[in-house]
A and B are shown apart, each in its own frame.
Chain A
Amino acid sequence: MTQTELQTMAESFSDFDIAAIRRDFPVLNQEVNGHPLAYLDNAASSQKPVQVIEAVDAFYRHDNANIHRGVHKLSQRATDAYEGARSKVRDFMGAKSDKEIVFVRGATEAINLVAQSFVRPQIKPGDEILISHTEHHANIVPWQMVCEQTGAKLKVIPMTQSGELDLSGLDDLLNERTKILALGHVSNALGTVNPIKDMITKAKAKSIPVLIDGAQAVPHLQVDVQDLDCDFYVFSGHKMFAPTGIGALYGRQELLEAMPPYQGGGDMILAVSFSHTEYNTLPYKFEAGTPHIAGAVGLGAAVDYMQSLGIDKLAAYEHHLLEIATAELEALDGVSIIGTAKDKASVLSFMIEDVHPHDIGTIFDQQGVAIRAGHHCAQPVMEFYGIAATARASFAFYNTEQEVAALVDAIKNTQEMFA
């Protein structure tokens, strides 16, 4: 990002009313262990605005029924609410058609769906699946399973000390045996924003399909799947201010059309007899059973909420928080930041000399500062740095500069205690 762009960014959130935004998130207004809560564990799960809570509440109070089958009024309203949410997600992701948006439980289920329904049927022994060293376990294990099932090989794009991807060997890693490139948009353990657009372009030039795990990206960045030109893009609702148990898979329509269903059951069929079942059209072919209707409604409300505030503005403000927190931690003796990529979003992983991250987590909690301590479901990343765990603060647009100060105080208090 150039200085001019940064300047533009700073101006873009100058009218940001943080107090009003925080009033939208009732959970933030509480004390924990006698201190104001500083919720800095957003990469694990985000908090929910009243707009989302009320949308879910209103659905259950007024519109609740099953979808796509009832001829009665409530079923129609529930169907409209559910399909309305799909359109909002389609718009949010920049997809062409609602048919390309499949509701799933979350990013994990979406990756498993693509692994089993898209990759597994066409992959052969000796073929390759390409991921990166910085992936979350959710973008490792489903591919390992396909490899075990088929005799394919898992290949890994290496990483550098700063937490960026080492792309020097990418041209060889993307080869005629590669059946998919599955890549995180933003690393959950390090915050690195990967140069996915260039990587997608390289893969597409060799006709290699690409899946992007956007779980850590959609709460922080504007995403446009058509501009990215990826084939699949997956995310979880609960990390972007929506309920748990709902997420979305974007899939290019012609690929989804050709894929067999992932699960069988109701709603994914047109006609069933004991000799033959005709599958439903997109996207219902991939939505077996009654889905998380209220969750989808909540996800739609979260999309509305983010768009009403302006995603670029949210991103700019949050980036500002990350920058000041990074500068503060860099200035502290005995504190090291893990993950120093040039382009980062939300995440600040760090170590305090001679203090185990789990001790950090407990001591911070006593000061009202909620962070994550552990391996962040990215054990290969921990292994790369030769550590078992890090402490991780992760920001959302409702965090404040005061909370950054609370983080810094918590670090100093911890150091004092262990001195």
Chain B
Amino acid sequence: MSDLRDLYQQVILDHKKNPRNFREIEDCNHMAHGNNPLCGDALVVYVKLNDDVIEDVSFQGSGCAISVASASLMTEMLKGKTMEEAETLYDNVHKALTGEDGGAELAGKLEVLGGVKEFPARVKCATLSWHTVHAAMDNEHDISVTTE
């Protein structure tokens, strides 16, 4: 169970039980829906951009512990970041979890998601919210991201 303990660390279980920024932003100027039809995970990510800075970011929805914790951590990490910084973080998460382009070390408190790499079937759970926020910032409109 050691790998499993790594995956389902207390931090992840805590974020699953008490997700941060789990709310709608009524005056958001970007949002996107993220769906993983395979497991039925469905998230909505809201972003309020002020010029180039993410003034507020939040999410709502339901999913497994990994997808909810990842989304919760993401909102904590992105708040106050510039678009460019957010893009760098998105690349970091993507590379770190998929191993593409030689992989990467996860930045800061995202480190707790590292265990997911040992569970290939679950990587998409962890990246769903990141794909969704990426889509939200790229488009003014509501967009669906399908990771399967």
Contact = CB atoms under 8 A, between A and B. Distances in A.
A114 interface: no
Nearest to A418: B13
Nearest to B3: A366
B28 interface: no
B8 A363 contact: yes
A159 B75 CA distance: 41
Nearest to A367: B1
B40 A388 contact: yes
A389 interface: yes
Contacts of A367: 1
A406 interface: no
Contacts of B41: 356, 358, 388
A373 B121 CA distance: 11
A51 interface: no
Interface string A347-373: 000000001111100110011000001
A382 B39 CA distance: 11
A132 B47 CA distance: 42
Size bin of chain A's contact surface: 10 to 19
A73 B119 CA distance: 50
Interface stretch (B61-69, B81-89, B104-112): B61-69
Contacts of B40: 374-375, 382, 387-389
Nearest to A360: B64
Name, among A362, A373, A387, A389, the residue most crowded by chain B CB atoms within 10 Å (CB to CB): A362
A356 B1 contact: no
Interface in B14-42: 37-42
A417 interface: yes
A302 B38 CA distance: 31
A357 B38 CA distance: 11
A31 B106 CA distance: 32
A366 B66 contact: no
Contact of A357 (B4, B37, B39): B39
Contacts of B3: 33, 366
Contacts of B121: 362
A383 to B, nearest CB: 10
A366 B39 contact: no
B90 to A, nearest CB: 23
A362 B119 contact: yes
Nearest to B62: A388
Given A374-B38, A388-B41, A389-B39, A359 B4 contact: no
A362 B63 contact: no
Contacts of B39: 356-358, 373-374, 388-389
A395 to B, nearest CB: 23
Contacts of B141: none
A-B interface, 4 closest residue pairs, ranked by CB to CB distance from nearest: A388-B40, A356-B64, A366-B4, A358-B64
Given A359-B66, A374-B40, A375-B38, 18 more contacts: A33-B3, A356-B39, A356-B64, A356-B65, A357-B39, A357-B64, A358-B39, A358-B41, A358-B122, A359-B64, A362-B7, A362-B121, A366-B3, A382-B40, A388-B39, A389-B40, A417-B13, A418-B13
17 contacts: A33-B3, A355-B65, A356-B41, A356-B63, A358-B39, A358-B66, A362-B121, A366-B1, A366-B4, A374-B38, A374-B40, A382-B40, A388-B39, A388-B40, A388-B42, A388-B62, A417-B8
